Structure 1
Amino acid sequence: MRRRFRTSNLSPKWGRILIKLKKKPKTYLIAGLIGLVTIGFIGYFIYVISGLPPLTQLEHYEPKLVTKIFSADSVLIKELYTQRREYIPYNQIPEYLKQAVLVTEDKKFWKHWGVDVRRLFKAALVDLIHMAKLEGASTITQQLARELYPSKLSREKTFTRKIREVITAVQIERTYAKSEILEMYLNSYYFGHGTYGIKSAADFYFNKDVKDLTLEECALLAALLKSPGGYSPIRRPQRALKRRNLVLALMFKNGVISRQQFETATNTPIVLGSGGHRETKKNIAPYFTEYIRQQLEDVFGKNLYTGGFTIYTTLDSRVQAAAEKAVQEFLPRLQKQVRKHILSK
């Protein structure tokens, strides 16, 4: 015989609870589901924040800089780096370059708090309609977050990564002033061909100091941010020209430059410097510089390649050049004499 569970067998307290459950089963079911969802949300939130860069790391920005080795007569003979970057402060960056970057990458930079909510929702809607990642919505601060913490914020297009990026961007905005964020961005970003930061990019592409860049050169460097490889003026000059002119058009549209400046700049061809060949010119006394590198690595360790040190050596580049020239001139004659001596035996 099937036994029925009777509330009379329970204590008064549990009996009342069971009666309430029988009377309002849906209410308690909903409450249970809400509880489970809440627990799941808390667990997911803990998972998200566990992947964020620590606050101490956000507060201490240490970019990887080039270590330079000079001769005794102040000639640069070697550079050591993992990323070719030289830091430049905000007040030394040309205004045209700042504006070119802002109108291209983040027009509301000075107004938002790290995230452009309207732009973010618009991009999400476009992606949802097309069922693909088509629209970019990252602010300069979000881009900086990805650049500074690649191990924490990968470039995978996932919802979790995006949340972490947004939280990190907000933390960066709370930690630094807007000018500092733009300064870090322009000193951190990759500009193609092994160059990081605006100073190294200006030197590489135009063989110029940043302060000497023209309007069209500023626009070209801003154009590279979208895709350094895709718009490389060395490998894809026509695409680079088209992208540069688009940046100039945005500058004109947003009132940064006049129509005359726009027309003059767009009709100016891209003229590159000899930056791409600088490394071969610096390759003076390779055995000596390798010896110096080994000695320095014993002292500084791997920090040698990221610390941005300036090293002066005892080598005189003029004497070294004269010695190398003498060897090059004398060596063929010596080889000829040796060959003649061997054949005469």
Structure 2
Amino acid sequence: MTDQNDSRTRSPTSSAAAARTAKRPSRFRFLRYAVGLVFGLAALTGVAGGLVAWHTYERYAADLPTLDVVRHYQPRVMSRVYAGDSRLLAELATERRIFVPISAIPAVVQQAFLSAEDQKFWSHRGIDPMAIARAAWFDIQQYGQGRRPIGASTITQQVAKNMLLSNEVSIARKVKELILAIRIDQSMTKEHVLELYLNEIYLGLQTYGVAAAAQAYFNKGLDELTLPEAAFLAALPKAPNNYNPFRFADAAKIRRDWVIERMAEDRAITAAQAAEAKATPIRPAAFARPETVPGAD
């Protein structure tokens, strides 16, 4: 009799416990289902993204120029007319170009351009995915505000664009540029890529390459350039006209000082060297001869 009473007394509690036990598997099954669904969707998205990327690659890769122009680079140089006594009488060219091998380009000049244009040049594989992602996010935030999209092109990408593609602003051209940059990085040494860049980049005053620019702006050879002068040349690729020291001296100095700060950030120069360089005004050689000041880029 007692056992029956005890059994009746415990039965409500036992029933509740049994109900809770029965509910647990149901909740766990839901959690497992939800987690599985999330991972399944992520995997599906990844596969779909991969297929889209592969299709995009196949679409544009078939129509790309070969790398022969880059591999067998022949610099265009100006023709010079000399007098009988070897005096230079004239230079015949619409562009000023002086080819210089990478071994003859001073380290300070190389580093100035690397700090300004591509800090990860020696480590990336032709493109910088993180820089591309940052630029894309910034452009999304600035969409509709009338601002020019910021770039994230590596030096290798700039070589691909300048030597193999047009200046068209489009997604198609950008995709081709990315593919070509990867191919260039796979088939050439970093030193060769940097040599091409430093000899082909437009730096204003109708000059292409650092050697021609050093003569045009400072009437110097590359080995004579000071740190501030090298930094100034590295400030020009993004917008040579906007940083023309003959017209926009203040803007040119601000941009040059930014390059110097980047060099210090990369530990290519000391803080003391950076401070001294930033305190140095930009003095293009033509300022001493007003009649030679160019009227346009």
What TM-score range do you get, normalising by the shorter chain? 0.7 to 0.9
Map 1:1-345 onto structure 2 (within 5 A): 45=57, 47-131=59-143, 134-149=149-164, 153-274=165-286
Distance in 1 of aligned mates of 2:156 and 2:150: 17
Change (3 A) 1:41 1:223: closer
Amino acid at match of 1:212: E
Equivalent residue number for residue 292 of structure 1: none
User: Is 2:98–2:209's contact at 8 Å kept on the other side of the alignment?
Assistant: yes
**Separation in structure 2 between the aligned mates of residue 78 and residue 278 of structure 1, nearest angstrom:** 20
Shift of 1:78: 1.5
Query: What amino acid maps onto 2:130 in structure 1?
Result: R
- Cα pair 1:204 1:275 within 8 Å, conserved: no
Cα RMSD over matched residues?
A: 2.7
Change (3 A) 1:130 1:274: closer
Runs of 4+ in 1 over 4 A off after TM superposition: 38-47, 275-280
Q: CA 1:224–1:41 in structure 2 vs 1: closer, same or farther (change >3 Å)?
A: closer
Distance in 1, Cα, partners of 2:55 & 2:257: 49
Contact preservation (8 Å) 2:101, 2:195: yes
Structure 1: stretches of 5+ with no match in the other structure? 1-37, 281-345
SS in 2 for 1:190: coil
CA separation of 1:75 and 1:216: change in aligned 2, threshold 3 A: same
Q: Secondary structure at the match of 2:203?
A: strand
- Number of residue pairs the alignment of both structures matches: 241
Offset, 1:104: 1.1
Spell out, residue by residue over 1:77-130, the C-alpha distance to the aligned partner (whole angstroms, 9 max, x if none).
111224210101111111111111111111100001100011112212222233
Distance (whole Å) between structure 2 residues aligned to residue 167 and residue 277 of structure 1: 46
Secondary structure in 1 aligned to 2:198?
Answer: helix
CA contact (8 A) 2:94 2:206 kept: no
TM-score relative to the length of structure 1? 0.64
Q: Secondary structure at the match of 1:192?
A: coil
Distance 2:248 2:52 in 1: 49
Tell me, in whole angstroms, the C-alpha distance in 1 between the residues paired with 2:286 and 2:155.
Answer: 30
Mapped partners of 1:278, 1:197: distance in 2:
24
Instruction: Note the alpha carbon deviations across 1:227-272, whole angstroms, 9 max, x for none.
Output: 1000111111111011111111111122111122111111111111
Amino acid at match of 1:181: V
Q: Could you say what secondary structure the match of 1:211 adopts?
A: helix
CA distance in 2, matches of 1:276, 1:115: 42
Structure possessing the higher relative contact order (Cα contacts under 8 Å, 6 or more residues apart): 1
Equivalent position amino acid for 1:264 in 2 = E
